[in-house]
Amino acid sequence: MNANQPATRGRGGAGERQISRVFRALADPTRRAVVAQLSQRPASMTELARPFKMALPSFAQHLEVLEECGVVQSRKEGRVRNYRLVPQPLAAAENWMVTQRAVWEQRLDQLEQYVERMKSEER
Amino acid sequence: MNANQPATRGRGGAGERQISRVFRALADPTRRAVVAQLSQRPASMTELARPFKMALPSFAQHLEVLEECGVVQSRKEGRVRNYRLVPQPLAAAENWMVTQRAVWEQRLDQLEQYVERMKSEER
């Protein structure tokens, strides 16, 4: 029952697995900060690492997690590795959240209408 | 560099930690399916467990993860434990995603305007 185990228990296909990996990647404040930084502009590994008090190899591992789930892409240019955000995997995870909220809000609306109806019948 | 380690590395406070826990909880397809089910209506543990080929103690652990991060609440009524969705923690995580997308889309708009300007100057 470990959030880190591969999400391959037969529920859904590749899409579900990618959503699991994106959520897992976002479950860390350092990685979320990197995503926030790359939302503003592409950046090199050195630039991205600057705000963090962390050894570069540890930081590089965070970038790897983000790259493995497709949220960022990197490219070596000369001696510099540059990173950019890839919005699609984040959008898929966001869509999942939006869908649940829509279902929940619809139910709440129905409940509200029901209460209103009961009230007006009471009068 | 484990997505499962507590997100207590000093970046942000309780809010950041809760967002980390919510994303970690959502990084599993069984737990996402439970959230989807509870978006529709509250349900007992037995009802929630029904669609899954999983031993009840394993399933109960998934529910625990969801309850610990505040996404669901449970209440024992007689011999039945009932669960309901709590939308606020999900909303906090969703807001984080929406914010990043807004920043990214704004940048894209600016880039588009820049390209348009360059094109019209060329003509």
Among B30, B31, B29, residue whose Cα is nearest residue B69: B31
Q: Distance of alpha carbon A7 from its chain centroid, rounded?
A: 15
Query: Where does residue B86 fall: left (phi above 0), alpha (psi -120 to 50 degrees), or beta otherwise?
Result: beta
Cβ atoms B103, A40 nearer than 8 A: yes
Q: What is the pLDDT of residue B4?
A: 39
Alpha helices in B27-86 (DSSP H): 29-40, 45-49, 56-68
Residues in chain A with pLDDT < 50? 1-10
> Are A101 and B85 an interchain contact pair (Cβ–Cβ within 8 Å)?
no
> Are A98 and B93 an interchain contact pair (Cβ–Cβ within 8 Å)?
no
**Which residues in chain A have Cβ-Cβ distances shorter than 8 Å to B11?**
29-30, 33
> Are A62 and B1 an interchain contact pair (Cβ–Cβ within 8 Å)?
yes
Which chain B residue shows the shortest CA-CA distance from A36? B100
Among B25, B8, B16, residue whose Cα is nearest residue B71: B25
Q: What is the pLDDT of residue A66?
A: 98
CA distance B120 to chain A (A): 25
Write out the H or E segment, with its range, that includes residue A94: helix A87-122
Asked if the ipTM is above 0.95, the reply is no
Which chain B residue shows the shortest CA-CA distance from A66? B3
> Are B101 and A39 an interchain contact pair (Cβ–Cβ within 8 Å)?
yes
Write out the H or E segment, with its range, that includes residue B103: helix B87-122
Report helix, strand or coil for A73: strand
What number of other Cβ atoms are within 10 A of residue A42's Cβ?
A: 17
Among A39, A28, A25, residue whose Cα is nearest residue A84: A39
Which chain A residue shows the shortest CA-CA distance from B22? A27
Q: What is the pLDDT of residue A12?
A: 63
**Which residues in chain A have Cβ-Cβ distances shorter than 8 Å to B48?**
none
Max Cα–Cα distance, chain B, nearest Å = 77
Token pair 């209408």 is found at: A113
Q: How many CB pairs under 8 A join A and B?
A: 125
Q: Is A78 exposed, middle or buried (0-12, 13-18, 19+ CB in 10 A)?
A: exposed
CA distance B41 to chain A (A): 8
> Are B104 and A96 an interchain contact pair (Cβ–Cβ within 8 Å)?
no
- How many whole angstroms separate alpha carbon A114 and alpha carbon A81? 58
Nearest to A103 among B2, B30, B39 (CB): B39
Residues A92-118: pLDDT tens digits?
999 999 999 999 999 888 888 988 898
Cβ atoms B43, B54 nearer than 8 A: no
- How many whole angstroms separate alpha carbon A89 and alpha carbon A94? 9
For the record, the structure tokens of B76 come out as 């024992």
- How many whole angstroms separate alpha carbon B43 and alpha carbon B37? 8
**Which residues in chain A have Cβ-Cβ distances shorter than 8 Å to B35?**
100
Among A94, A91, A77, A49, residue whose Cα is nearest residue B108: A91
Predicted confidence pLDDT, tens digits, chain B (123 residues): 444 333 344 456 889 999 999 999 999 999 999 999 999 999 999 999 999 999 999 999 999 999 999 999 999 999 999 999 999 999 999 999 999 999 999 988 888 898 889 888 888
